[in-house]
Amino acid sequence: MRKVKSYSRISGRFAELGIPEVEIPNLLAMQVDSFNDFLQKDIHPQRREKKGLQAVFENIFPLEDTKGNFLLEFIEYNVLQEKYSLEECRERNLSYQAPLKAKMRLSVFENKEGVREHKDTLEQEVFLGEIPLITEQGTFVINGAERVIIS
Protein backbone atom coordinates (compact mmCIF):
# COMPACT_ATOMS: atom_id res chain seq x y z
CA MET A 1 0.00 0.00 0.00
CA ARG A 2 1.36 3.39 -1.03
CA LYS A 3 1.45 6.23 1.49
CA VAL A 4 0.51 9.74 0.45
CA LYS A 5 2.55 12.46 2.08
CA SER A 6 0.66 15.36 3.53
CA TYR A 7 0.93 18.79 1.96
CA SER A 8 2.66 20.21 5.04
CA ARG A 9 5.43 17.58 4.85
CA ILE A 10 5.96 18.23 1.15
CA SER A 11 5.88 21.97 1.76
CA GLY A 12 8.50 21.55 4.50
CA ARG A 13 10.81 19.62 2.15
CA PHE A 14 10.63 22.40 -0.43
CA ALA A 15 11.49 24.93 2.28
CA GLU A 16 14.54 22.85 3.26
CA LEU A 17 15.72 23.03 -0.35
CA GLY A 18 15.24 26.80 -0.42
CA ILE A 19 12.25 26.67 -2.76
CA PRO A 20 9.67 29.28 -1.71
CA GLU A 21 6.05 28.31 -1.11
CA VAL A 22 3.75 29.13 -3.98
CA GLU A 23 0.22 30.21 -3.22
CA ILE A 24 -2.36 28.03 -4.92
CA PRO A 25 -4.37 30.17 -7.37
CA ASN A 26 -8.16 30.26 -7.35
CA LEU A 27 -8.78 28.03 -10.34
CA LEU A 28 -12.55 28.53 -10.14
CA ALA A 29 -12.22 32.29 -10.60
CA MET A 30 -11.44 31.87 -14.29
CA GLN A 31 -14.67 29.97 -14.96
CA VAL A 32 -16.84 32.25 -12.79
CA ASP A 33 -15.32 35.41 -14.28
CA SER A 34 -15.73 34.04 -17.80
CA PHE A 35 -19.44 33.34 -17.24
CA ASN A 36 -19.95 36.77 -15.66
CA ASP A 37 -18.20 38.39 -18.64
CA PHE A 38 -20.52 36.46 -20.95
CA LEU A 39 -23.64 37.60 -19.09
CA GLN A 40 -22.56 41.18 -18.21
CA LYS A 41 -25.43 41.10 -15.69
CA ASP A 42 -24.21 43.94 -13.47
CA ILE A 43 -23.31 46.31 -16.32
CA HIS A 44 -25.81 48.93 -17.49
CA PRO A 45 -27.27 47.87 -20.89
CA GLN A 46 -25.96 51.00 -22.62
CA ARG A 47 -22.41 50.36 -21.35
CA ARG A 48 -22.08 46.69 -22.29
CA GLU A 49 -19.22 45.62 -24.50
CA LYS A 50 -19.91 43.68 -27.69
CA LYS A 51 -19.04 40.30 -26.22
CA GLY A 52 -20.88 37.34 -24.78
CA LEU A 53 -24.66 37.52 -24.77
CA GLN A 54 -24.61 41.11 -26.04
CA ALA A 55 -22.62 40.02 -29.10
CA VAL A 56 -25.02 37.13 -29.73
CA PHE A 57 -28.00 39.49 -29.84
CA GLU A 58 -26.17 42.05 -31.97
CA ASN A 59 -25.11 39.37 -34.47
CA ILE A 60 -28.63 37.93 -34.82
CA PHE A 61 -30.61 41.16 -35.04
CA PRO A 62 -32.07 42.96 -36.91
CA LEU A 63 -34.36 40.37 -38.51
CA GLU A 64 -36.49 41.16 -41.54
CA ASP A 65 -39.17 39.10 -43.24
CA THR A 66 -38.71 38.08 -46.88
CA LYS A 67 -41.14 40.70 -48.21
CA GLY A 68 -39.63 43.54 -46.17
CA ASN A 69 -42.87 44.25 -44.29
CA PHE A 70 -41.51 43.67 -40.78
CA LEU A 71 -38.21 44.57 -39.13
CA LEU A 72 -37.41 43.27 -35.62
CA GLU A 73 -34.57 45.06 -33.83
CA PHE A 74 -32.82 44.28 -30.56
CA ILE A 75 -32.38 47.24 -28.22
CA GLU A 76 -31.12 45.79 -24.91
CA TYR A 77 -31.46 42.85 -22.56
CA ASN A 78 -31.83 42.61 -18.80
CA VAL A 79 -31.14 39.74 -16.44
CA LEU A 80 -33.62 40.24 -13.61
CA GLN A 81 -33.32 39.20 -9.97
CA GLU A 82 -33.55 35.46 -9.43
CA LYS A 83 -36.87 34.25 -8.02
CA TYR A 84 -35.35 31.87 -5.44
CA SER A 85 -32.11 32.00 -3.48
CA LEU A 86 -29.38 29.45 -4.07
CA GLU A 87 -30.25 27.64 -0.83
CA GLU A 88 -33.97 27.53 -1.68
CA CYS A 89 -33.14 26.00 -5.07
CA ARG A 90 -31.09 23.26 -3.42
CA GLU A 91 -33.78 22.51 -0.83
CA ARG A 92 -36.76 22.60 -3.23
CA ASN A 93 -35.09 20.83 -6.19
CA LEU A 94 -35.25 23.95 -8.36
CA SER A 95 -32.81 25.46 -10.84
CA TYR A 96 -30.83 28.53 -9.80
CA GLN A 97 -31.76 30.87 -12.64
CA ALA A 98 -32.97 34.36 -13.43
CA PRO A 99 -35.50 35.75 -15.92
CA LEU A 100 -34.00 37.09 -19.16
CA LYS A 101 -35.90 39.89 -20.86
CA ALA A 102 -35.04 41.83 -23.99
CA LYS A 103 -36.37 45.14 -25.22
CA MET A 104 -37.28 44.77 -28.88
CA ARG A 105 -38.57 47.11 -31.57
CA LEU A 106 -40.89 45.91 -34.33
CA SER A 107 -41.27 48.22 -37.31
CA VAL A 108 -44.10 47.61 -39.76
CA PHE A 109 -43.77 48.70 -43.38
CA GLU A 110 -46.15 48.66 -46.30
CA ASN A 111 -45.10 48.41 -49.92
CA LYS A 112 -47.23 50.67 -52.08
CA GLU A 113 -46.39 50.78 -55.76
CA GLY A 114 -42.81 49.68 -55.13
CA VAL A 115 -42.24 52.31 -52.41
CA ARG A 116 -41.59 51.10 -48.86
CA GLU A 117 -43.63 53.19 -46.44
CA HIS A 118 -43.22 53.09 -42.64
CA LYS A 119 -46.56 52.28 -41.07
CA ASP A 120 -46.03 51.66 -37.34
CA THR A 121 -43.41 50.92 -34.67
CA LEU A 122 -43.93 48.90 -31.50
CA GLU A 123 -41.35 48.74 -28.71
CA GLN A 124 -41.77 46.22 -25.92
CA GLU A 125 -39.85 44.26 -23.32
CA VAL A 126 -40.19 40.55 -24.10
CA PHE A 127 -39.62 37.61 -21.74
CA LEU A 128 -37.14 35.25 -23.44
CA GLY A 129 -36.84 32.61 -20.73
CA GLU A 130 -34.81 31.72 -17.69
CA ILE A 131 -31.01 31.73 -17.81
CA PRO A 132 -28.97 29.61 -15.37
CA LEU A 133 -26.74 31.50 -12.94
CA ILE A 134 -23.31 30.35 -11.84
CA THR A 135 -22.52 29.95 -8.14
CA GLU A 136 -19.39 31.29 -6.42
CA GLN A 137 -18.02 27.73 -6.55
CA GLY A 138 -18.27 27.67 -10.36
CA THR A 139 -21.24 25.30 -10.45
CA PHE A 140 -24.82 25.51 -11.69
CA VAL A 141 -27.77 24.26 -9.64
CA ILE A 142 -30.17 22.39 -11.93
CA ASN A 143 -33.24 20.78 -10.37
CA GLY A 144 -31.62 21.08 -6.94
CA ALA A 145 -28.39 19.30 -7.90
CA GLU A 146 -25.07 21.04 -8.42
CA ARG A 147 -23.62 20.54 -11.89
CA VAL A 148 -20.17 21.35 -13.19
CA ILE A 149 -19.31 22.32 -16.76
CA ILE A 150 -16.22 20.51 -18.01
CA SER A 151 -14.65 21.84 -21.16
The per-residue b/e assignment along 75-109, b for 16 or more CB within 10 angstroms, e otherwise, is: eebebeebebebeebbeeeebbbbebbbebeebeb
For residue 73, being part of any structural domain is answered with: yes
Do residues 71 and 118 make contact, with C-beta atoms less than 8 angstroms apart? Answer: no
| Nearest C-alpha neighbor of 96 from the set 108, 110, 106, 82 | 82
Q: Total structural domains in the chain?
A: 1
* Residue 46: DSSP 8-state: G
**pLDDT number for residue 11:** 64
Residues whose CB falls within 8 Å of the CB of residue 22, separated by 6 or more in sequence, listed in order: none
**Per-residue pLDDT tens listing for the chain (151 residues):** 455 545 556 666 777 777 777 788 888 898 999 999 999 999 999 999 999 999 999 999 999 999 999 999 999 999 999 999 999 999 999 999 999 999 999 999 998 888 999 999 999 999 999 999 999 999 999 999 999 988 7
Q: Does 31 fall in a domain? A: yes
- Please check whether residue 15 lies inside any domain of the structure: no
Looking at residue 9, what is its pLDDT? 61
State the residue range of the domain holding 77. Answer: 27-147
Q: Per the domain annotation, does 132 fall within a domain?
A: yes
pLDDT of the residue at 97 = 98
Closest CA to 141 of 82, 53, 56: 82
Instruction: Identify whether 10 is part of a domain.
Output: no
**Residue 115 domain-assigned (yes or no):** yes
* pLDDT attached to residue 18: 75
- Work out the mean pLDDT of the chain and round it to a whole number: 91
Give the model's pLDDT for residue 8.
59
Measured from the Cβ of residue 127, the count of other Cβ atoms closer than 10 Å reads 10
Residue 48 lies in a domain: yes
Taking residue 134's Cβ as centre, other Cβ atoms within 10 Å add up to: 20
Q: Does 81 fall in a domain?
A: yes
CA angle 149–86–42, rounded 5-degree value: 80
